[in-house]
Structure 1
């Protein structure tokens, strides 16, 4: 049964438009990080995997957004690069000296960016 659920989830994710896919993956990473915060003592052993997943996701997002052929405006490319730099530094800090208060900003960033990606422009 679990295999079927995983296969369905992969198919559903592959069919999403790029912005929705990015938002979904950011929310997945935020959820994994939030789970650490919700049960810090019971889940400390999951810190490295959750933080690594988030860092890898941000590596892909930042690489895609900042590449030369990206259609994003330069200011947005710079903002994404700055956020990614923060995420990378915070991730390293969390992995060296895990503490729940260091994880909260990562959760918040992912949720805010996901909300922005899911927002639809208002019709004029």
Structure 2
């Protein structure tokens, strides 16, 4: 990447709202998982790295969303906790017994949540 493009990328990231930043990182995690799924035979070696990245994203999201100080309704906090638990369980299952189709739910959840975050509240 050129210096100018690199500088623009850094500035544009700094200008993102927290919701936009969360959406962007979810899309990045989904894209990494999608690449593995689409090229399963060639990309399976990178599976644990992609799953690990997604797990880190979800650790941050679910922790932030369920903190007592989080400005979310109680039912939304509970839903995020359940969704995070599902993501962690599916991630572990996929690491133990890898299968391309197990990635579909993780990819879909990330994309759907990103879409919701990008919507105007």
TM, length-normalised to structure 2? 0.93
Query: CA-atom RMSD, angstroms?
Result: 1.5
Question: What residue number does 1:16 align with?
Answer: 16
Question: What residue number does 1:113 align with?
Answer: 113
Question: What residue number does 1:81 align with?
Answer: 81
SS state at 1:102 partner: helix
TM, length-normalised to structure 1? 0.91
Q: CA deviation at 1:3?
A: 6.6
Structure 2 unpaired stretches of 5+: none
The 2-side partners of 1:77 and 1:118 are apart by 18
Moved over 3 A (4+): 1-8
Question: What residue number does 2:99 align with?
Answer: 99
Question: What residue number does 1:32 align with?
Answer: 32
Listed one character per residue, the Cα deviations across residues 33-71 of structure 1 (whole Å, up to 9, x for unaligned) are: 000111000000010000000000000000100001001
Aligned length: 121
Question: What residue number does 1:43 align with?
Answer: 43
SS state at 1:95 partner: helix
